[in-house]
Amino acid sequence: SITDVMIWDALKNSLLVAVTSTIIATIFGTMIALALERFRFPGRTVLEAILFLPIIIPEITIGLSLLVFFSLSFQLIENFLGIRLVLGLPTVIIGHIAFCISFVVVTVRARVAELDPALEEAALDLGANEWRTFFRITLPLIWPGIFSAALLAFTLSLDDFVITFFTAGVGSTTLPLFVYGMIKFSVTPAINAISTLMLIASLMLVISALFVEQLGNQKKT
C-alpha cells in the first residue's frame, strides 16, 4: 500500500541520516576530544563552550538557529552564485552532526582523560613514532569510548524529531516525522508498532553502549 511505501521511505531516510551523521560526528568528535585533552591552544575555552551548547540548550532553539542559518546561507549563495538550494537530507545530516558531535566529544574525552601517559611514553622510548604509538597504544585503549559515543550519536540521530522538523524539506521525511504526521489524524496499529520498535531499538543501542563502556573499563583494570 501507499502507507507501507511511505514507511519504508521514511525508515531509509532515517537510517541514511543516522549512519552518515554518526560516522562524521564520531570521526571529527574524536579528533576534537583528543585535541582538547592533549593540547593547549588559543580559543580552547571558547571551543569547549561552543561544544557544550547543544547539550545544555533546548533542541527547539538549535532547530530554529539551524533554520535561520540555512535560510541566510542559501540566500547568499543564490545572490552571489545564482545557485538555488533548498532544505533536504543534506541539511538534516548537517543539523544532526552539529547536535551529536558534542555528545561524542564529551564521551571520548572522558575516556582519553583516563589514559595513563606512561604507556605512550614507554612506546615512544622504545622507538615507536607518534603515529605508531597512537594506532598501537592510544586508539585501542580509547576504542570502547569511541564505540559508545558512536552508538549514542546513532541513537540520538535516529530518534530526533525537533531538529529534523526544522531542517527537513520535501522528500526528506524521517521516521519520527512520519509518525508525527500520522498521529495528527489517528493513532493506528501501524503507528503503535513503529513507535514500539523505535523504543526497543533505542533501548538496545543505549544498553549496548553502556555494556561496551563497562567492558572497556574492565579490560583496562
More confident: 123 or 154: 154
Supply the pLDDT for residue 216: 63
Cβ 177 vs Cβ 168: under 8 Å = yes
182 or 19: which leads in pLDDT: 19
Fold (topology level) of 2-220: MetI-like fold (1.10.3720)
Q: Which residue has the cell 583496562?
A: 220
Report d(CA 36, CA 73) in Å as an integer.
Answer: 29
Mean pLDDT throughout 133-157? 88
Residue 146's region, left for phi above 0, alpha for psi from -120 to 50, else beta, is: alpha
pTM: predicted TM-score of the whole model, two decimal places: 0.85
Three-class SS state of 127: coil
% of residues, the chain, pLDDT over 70:
92
CA-nearest of 73, 66, 45 to 166 is 66
Average pLDDT over residues 131-153: 87
pLDDT, position 144: 86
Residue 43 has pLDDT above 60, yes or no: yes
Q: Cell numbers 531499538 label which residue?
A: 201
The DSSP secondary-structure symbol of 135 reads: I
Q: What is the pLDDT of residue 221?
A: 55
So what's the pLDDT on residue 1? 60
DSSP state of 57: S
Q: Which residue has better confidence, 21 or 41?
A: 21
- The predicted model gives 58-69 an average pLDDT of 93
Q: What is the pLDDT of residues 185-214, one digit of tens each?
A: 766 677 777 778 877 877 887 787 777 767
Q: Specify the pLDDT at position 103.
A: 93
Domain boundaries, the chain: 2-220
pLDDT of residue 29: 95
pLDDT digits (tens, 9 = 90+) for 86-133: 999 999 999 999 999 999 999 999 888 888 778 877 887 777 778 888
DSSP code at position 88: S
